[in-house]
Amino acid sequence: MGKKINMRFIRALVVIFLIVFWFYVISTGFMLYFTKHIAGTTPILFGITRSLWKDLHFWLSVIATTVTVFHIIVDWKALTANIRYLIKNQ
């Protein structure tokens, strides 16, 4: 009855999420870095205040970190195989 979970699909989706979420964490991080002289109450992009961008940056990084942990779990076999390969062929 229960359809088998397509792990190949899950792994592919996780990698896309990794790229998307880390892209936004890094972008907002750089934006915050270059606007350090601006007050938190000032809108800096899309009418959103710097203080709210900090919150967005934080929650995006929570999601990106969670996806990274998930990525390590679902690709564990590939990760350990690569490490074994590097050790064997050093």
**Residues forming the site for ligand HEM (CB under 6 A):** 25-26, 29-30, 32-33, 36, 54, 57-58, 61, 65
CA distances from residue 71 to 4, 11, 28, 52, 53 in whole angstroms, order as listed: 19, 7, 22, 28, 26
C-beta of 44: minimal distance to ligand HEM in Å? 11
Comparing every residue's Cβ against ligand HEM, the nearest one is 29
- For ligand HEM, the closer of residues 29 and 85 by Cβ is 29
Q: How far apart are CA 59 and CA 52, in angstroms?
A: 11
- Tokens read off for 70: 């998930």
C-beta of 84: minimal distance to ligand HEM in Å? 28
